[in-house]
Amino acid sequence: MKKGLFLSLLVLAVAMGLLMGPFAGGVAAKAKEIKIGVIYPLSGAFAAAGRDLRNGAELALDVLNNRYAELGISIAKWEGIPSLKGAKIKLIFADHRGEPGRGADLAKRLIMDEKVVGLMGCYHSSVTKTVSAVAERYGVPMINGSSTSPVLTKRGFKWFWRTTPHDETFTKDLFEFLKGLTEGKVRGVKAVPKEEIKRIAYACENTEWGSSVAKVIEQMAKEYGFDVVKGILYSAKSPDLTTESQALVAAKPDCMLFASYISDAILFVRTLKSMKASPKVVWGQDAGFEIPDFRATLGKDVHGILTRTVFIPKVVKVKKAAGKINALFKKRYGTDLTGASGRAFVALQTWAHVLNAAGSTDPKAIQKAANELFIPAKELIMPWGGVKFDKTGQNVLGTGLIGQYQAKGGKVELEIVYPFDLATADMVYPFTTWK
């Protein structure tokens, strides 16, 4: 009887298995969650930048995990990672507050406690430097979207990839722009004698990022035949920049160049305006000069200021996908995409493509997929040639833009002035806003 009962139950179990096969298989194949740690400055002096970055990453997450086929890019049709049975990405955010040591500690916690598949961040190059060192030590992939110190991809790391161009590219763009200004290539401006814009002064914050920008400015000024008449490295988050501003004005430069985070950028503009500074060109190395709070706080005082960037809303004229995604971002957050939020979007988009190509969350598979990755230009909101990493982990297809704030009809808009063939408005030259 016992043997007969056993056989009967066995037959019943097999039958149920056959009947429930599709259902059971569906449960077994249920998409798992893929956790990625995202380390941004979410509080304190850099909270505005962190908020912008987080918004860009979260929009990309929504587009990836759900369906937005009308956007016209691959991840908007996926509803998760296709090669991983629709697995959804989950972002775990951590706040480094602009502190490199804290960033390293957060990276360890995310790797050891949260068991993240990989990391993303960190905006500040100084924090990215420490976080990527932790990732390298543990063999955890890290994709960086917004830190631009050239040093970051010159350390021989095997687990670090950067999608954004770095400061050598951006600063070269500046000097190509100045050169073009002397050659009559800038829209709306007749050729300017080089002697009129030859004298350069810069003020850069003194962490990893600003220090590297200063070195590149010094190097490229020599290459392009410009004279650096004053160079200042100052402490980030300074409560007062009067001394630094006085030194810049005293040097009587034709061009003032800055590498400053948001609070410093705002303070420099206010202080220099009070001194009636009168350079012919004012250029900011992105960061504080592009965060929405910069324009919102200073209003028409930014008229004529240049900023390097990788995304300007008016690029939608040449990138249809950019227009659709920017419209979605603006509807959700009330502002246009910026270089920061745009690069955060692309960083997570890159993570999605890497995971799909890997077909696995195994670090070695991810490493191989990242090294072999190619995302074509049509997939991106940036006017880049795509995403393709060289042996150092640097995207070699990224390029920069230079925008100029222009006050028009009660609004301040950011117009493209470089590359010259993408210009959307005549350049305001010379800069006279603070006189």
**Positions of the chain with pLDDT under 70:** 1-31
Which single residue is written with the structure tokens 């979207």? 145
Distances (CA, A) of 166 to 6, 43, 285, 292, 396: 70, 25, 11, 21, 10
Considering the domain delimited by 33-165+318-387, tell me its CATH architecture. 3-Layer(aba) Sandwich (3.40)
CA dist 163 and 308 (Å) reads 16
CA dist 55 and 341 (Å) reads 6
Dihedral Cα 194, 197, 201, 203, nearest 10 deg = -120
- Cβ atoms 405, 302 nearer than 8 A: yes
Q: Name the H helices within 113-166.
A: 125-138
- Cis status, amide bond into 122, omega within 30 of 0: yes
Q: Can you give the pTM of this predicted structure?
A: 0.84
Pull the structure tokens for residue 211.
């220090």
pLDDT tens digits along 410-427: 899 999 999 998 899 999
Which single residue is written with the structure tokens 């009887």? 1
- Cβ atoms 235, 260 nearer than 8 A: no
pLDDT at 315: 83
Dihedral Cα 48, 49, 53, 55, nearest 10 deg = 20
Comparing CA positions, the residue from 177, 198, 186 lying closest to residue 399 is 177
CA angle 354, 168, 129 (to 5 degrees): 55
Please provide the DSSP assignment of 204-267 as one string. EESSHHHHHHHHHHHHHHHHHT-EEEEEEEE-TT-S--HHHHHHHHHT--SEEEEE--HHHHHH
pLDDT at 2: 43
pLDDT at 313: 84
Q: Is the sign of the CA dihedral 29, 91, 292, 189 positive or negative?
A: negative
Residue 195 contacts by C-beta under 8 Å, 6 or more apart in sequence? none
pLDDT at 26: 30
pLDDT at 82: 97
Which amino acid appears at position 85 of this protein? K
- Cβ atoms 390, 396 nearer than 8 A: yes
CA dist 32 and 433 (Å) reads 55
Please, where in the chain does CATH 3.40.50.2300 lie? 33-165+318-387, 168-309+400-422
Comparing CA positions, the residue from 129, 131, 77 lying closest to residue 103 is 131
Look up the CATH number of domain 168-309+400-422. 3.40.50.2300
